[in-house]
Chains A and B, each alone.
Chain A
Amino acid sequence: MFSQLKARFGSGLAVGIIGMIAIWLIGLVILPQLLMVDYSFRPNLLPADIGGPKDVYSLTNYETLFGNHIHLKIFFKTIWSSVLVTGLTLVVSYPIAFYLAKVATPQKAALCLLLLIIPFWINEILRTFSWYIILAYKGPLNALLLGLGFIDRPIRFLSGDGGVLIGMVYAYILFMIFPIYNAIESLDTNQIKAARNLGAGWIRTHWRVVIPHAKPGIATGCIMTFMLAAGSYAVPALLGSPGSRWFTQIIYNWFFEGGDWNQGAAYAFLLLIICIGFIALVMRIFKVGLGDIAK
């Protein structure tokens, strides 16, 4: 990499570029993570005791989670709900991605992409707040459903899992649409025509031809959505509290309300490890390699 950069920009600039990347990676990514790893294995002590005889490495912080049933329940609920969010986002995004890639005219596709992207120019917190308003007990959605006669009395969307699911599917839809869109776009349209021509209905055409081709894109989208959902804080905090708590909120509480950074760090790493393990497992099951995703 260095020789390439040197050939293009000269050695001075090449050293500068590599140096900046190194500072960014080491100083802002690797060191803080290592610090957190270090924290997570040490007890939470008064400043006076730090470095003293009590300051020893142990797995105590990690064991805490398995002793606390409520936390454990929320932990697994977070994983399970993130799976649900990922699945729902996939179901919503796949038809949109297919439409954009293969059905819409270029003008229509551009317009749709613009409509999808514009809301994301607004901060995530604000977008979530707008869902807070839409989903409110006396909010416009309930008013609409009541007005149309679908329901007799307003539904309590908020303070439960429903609102969180809706909010998250919306928040992460682009992370799912774009990789799938890219994957489907690279599919030769004649493949779809060939499948149709050989007698395949739409479902089979997708199942046997489009989805296998789009698998790397689907995997990328699912991984991103899953990681974002599992690590989400704003959406569950705004749309789910207090009925639906997310594990990230517990981590937050350890850090900023409990003041126990060591315990928080351990929780954060447990979440990270389980998520990575879960993704590796799912990739194994669906026979997706890391190389496919990088494509």
Chain B
Amino acid sequence: MDSSVHLDNTVMQFGDFTAIQKTDLTIQSGEFFSFLGPSGCGKTTILNMISGFIDPTQGDIKIGGKSMHGVPANKRPTSMIFQNLALFPLMTVAENIEFGLEVRGVSKNERKKASDRLLELVALEGSGTKKVSELSGGQKQRIAIARALAVEPQVLLLDEPLSALDLKLRQHMRTELKAIQRKTGITFIYITHDQGEALTMSDRVAVMSAGRIQQVADPITLYRDPHTAFVASFVGENNGVSGKVIEAKSDLVVLDCGPLGKLAGRSQGNIAVGTAATLFIRPEHFRLQAENGMHTLGATIDEVNFEGAYLTLNAKTPAEQALSIQLGTHQFSESLKKGAPVSLSYNELDAIVIAGEGHV
């Protein structure tokens, strides 16, 4: 069954405020797709448009190729898991799961079978008669999933459903959600501001900022080849160093970064000589020993933090630019201490250059 979702030149305005700039995006049938962005970027608005709680000002939403224009929320083939779960507190667990089927006029026997099957899927067999208030956070989470799946939606919408859980449970639920998605084969649309969630679970991620989709890509591409300065600094940690382009050949760009000297990196998009650009280096791409073809910049250590498997250094360049560096713990030596000079090298293929001043 085609359960793709197409945002067909969709615009959403609230009065003068444009919550979603014109967006054209197709989410494939059976895909685990995430919208990642800071709060207020419009990702929940997209979810509300797909589920039918609000209608786009312009454009259309198509699910399985069918226009959803004028189709009310209760007639759409979508099902949502809310941030606060929104389980019905006055109903039992089974009644919660069966609610969507009850609405559809499914007989009591069939409903019971369905809820038993779903309780098994989420590994909560026999909890049907419990009250919602008797469940733990993780159990409630799983009941919310079961309730949403009971109506056999084509598209499952998840609005930051893991944000209320503690870290361990959250990591466990990520694996479980992914497994459920694979088992059911329905399209999952996941909204989150937590990049860890987006990167680990998704087939593709759309990074959003201020009502605009910045980049749509699979997690690795997003991390390695961010197209915009926003994506570069929002997804994972990044050090941005701005400078002027002095050389641009094929996909390598050299920047004059003032006191830091000349630094090079792979270019993203067309970057002209003479314009301002920003070089992004990930903390984990710095080395203490320079190898052939590496670029080196000097800095002074501000702080050394031991985090178990790795160390993070906060350092300052002569231009007072803060850098964050991540090193394997095996690289620790007594010379790494506050106030000590350090020379940091990186491979130019690990750095990328994006046009613009780039500080986000």
Contacts and interface: CB of A to CB of B under 8 A. Distances in A.
A in complex with B: yes
A144 B99 CA distance: 47
A214 to B, nearest CB: 11
B164 to A, nearest CB: 13
Interface string B141-154: 00000011011000
Interface in B263-308: none
A189 to B, nearest CB: 9
Nearest to B87: A194
Interface stretch (A4-12, A126-134, A200-208, A222-230): A200-208
A198 interface: yes
Interface string A204-219: 1000110011000000
Name the interface size band of chain A: 10 to 19
Contacts of B87: 194
A68 interface: no
B90 A212 contact: yes
B74 interface: yes
Nearest to B147: A198
A107 interface: no
A196 B90 contact: no
Nearest to A215: B90
Contact of B79 (A197, A201, A208, A212): A197
Interface in B225-244: none
Contacts of A191: 86, 88
Q: Which of B74, B80, B84, B147 has the most CB of A within 10 A?
A: B74
A44 to B, nearest CB: 53
Interface in B1-29: none
Contact of B78 (A197, A200, A204): A197
Contact of A193 (B72, B73, B90): B73
B160 to A, nearest CB: 12
Nearest to A209: B88
A190 B74 contact: no
B82 interface: yes
A199 B75 contact: yes
Interface residues of B, number: 25
A197 B99 contact: no
B86 A199 contact: no
Given A195-B99, A198-B99, A188 B74 contact: no
Contacts of A199: 74-75, 100, 103-104, 151
Contact of A197 (B51, B84, B90, B91): B51
Describe B's contact surface by its main secondary structure.
mixed
Contacts of B332: none
A63 to B, nearest CB: 46
Among B73, B75, B104, the most chain A Cβ lie within 10 Å of the Cβ of B73
Nearest to B84: A190
B103 A193 contact: no
A198 B90 contact: no
A198 B77 CA distance: 9
Interface string B76-109: 0011101110111011000000011001100000
A194 B144 CA distance: 10
Interface string B176-188: 0000000000000
Nearest to B53: A193
A197 B74 contact: yes
Given A199-B74, A199-B100, A200-B99, A194 B151 contact: no
7 contacts: A190-B84, A193-B82, A197-B78, A198-B74, A198-B148, A199-B74, A208-B88
Interface of A: 188, 190-191, 193-201, 204, 208-209, 212-213
